[in-house]
Structure 1
C-alpha cells in the first residue's frame, strides 16, 4: 500500500503541476476567461481522487496460492485476472525490486512459463518471503519436470 500511495503522490503531483500552466498563463494575462484556467486543475484533482479510491481495493485484490500441482496468482478490481501456472511449465522465476520497493523492504516475484504463454507477477512481498517463495517454486518446478 505504501508503494502504491507514494507512486500515486509523485505521479499526480507532476500532473497537477502541468495542469497549472493555464493558470500561470492567466496570471501573465495570456488567457482571459478564468474558467479555461480552472478546468484542467479541477479535472486533474477529480481523477487523482478517483484513482486514490481504487488503490486500496487493488491492493486487497492481490493474492497467490501455492497448490500441490500449480501456482495461482490473482489480481485486479475492474478487470479481474487469475493465472494458474502448473509447476512443470515454469521456465524461470525472478525476484525484482525497484527503488520504492527496496525502501519499504518489498519485492516483486515474476513467473514465466515455457513458450511465454503466461506470465504471473506477485507484487508487494517482503524481501525474505519473496526469496523463500522463489526457492520453493524453483524446487517444485524442477521436481515436476523430472
Structure 2
C-alpha cells in the first residue's frame, strides 16, 4: 500500500533563486579555507621540512573531490527548499538525499522569528524560524525575500493566535 500526501511538490512555494548565490558564497568560503589547511604539508615541503609526497597530494586531492561533489548538488539543495501554507498547518520541506517534510499545526507554534545574516541581507533575503510547543520541532524556511518573510511571519502569527483561541 502506498501512502500519498495531500499536496503535490509543485504546490510548495520555493526558495528565492538568489538564495543559490548565498549558498555558493558560503560554499566558496568554507571550501577555500579547508583547501588552505590541506596545503600545509605542501608548504612544509616547500620550506625544507621532509614530508612524504602522498601527505602533500592526498589531502588536496580529497578536498577538491569532496568540494566539487558538494558543489554538484548545491543547486538541487536550494531547489528542494520550500513551504506550504495549509488550512490547519504549515509544511516545510528540505533535502535532496535525505528529504524532510515537517508539518507544524498552527496551534502548536510558540513564536516565529525572521533572521538574516550578512550574505542574506546583501541579496535582500531572510530566513524564518518557527518554534513549537513540542521539543525539537523547530522549522526553518530559508531563502525568503525580506518583504515576503515579514508578511509570512505576520500570517503565521495570526493563524497561530486564531487556533489557540
1:92 aligned to 92, 101, 111, which one?
111
Render the CA deviation track for 1:69-127: whole Å, top value 9, x for unaligned.
10000001111111101111111000000111111110000111113341110000000
User: What is the deviation of 1:46?
Assistant: 0.5
Give the TM-score, by structure 1 length: 0.96
Q: For 2:42, what is the secondary structure of its paired residue?
A: helix
Mapped to 1, the partners of 2:50 and 2:61 lie a distance apart of: 17
CA contact (8 A) 1:22 1:31 kept: no
**Higher relative contact order (CA closer than 8 Å, sequence separation 6+):** 2
- Alpha-carbon distance change, 117 to 23 in structure 1, aligned in 2, over 3 angstroms: closer
Decide whether the 8 Å contact of 2:41 with 2:51 is kept in 1.
no
Alignment RMSD: 1.1
Q: Where does structure 1 lack aligned partners over 5 or more consecutive residues?
A: none
Task: Report the counterpart of residue 26 of structure 2 in structure 1.
Answer: 7
More divergent stretch after superposition (111-120 vs 51-60): 111-120
What does residue 61 of structure 2 align with?
Answer: 42
Moved over 3 A (4+): none
- TM-score in terms of structure 2 length: 0.85
Instruction: Report how many residues are paired.
Output: 146
Q: Which residue of 2 aligns with 1:22?
A: 41
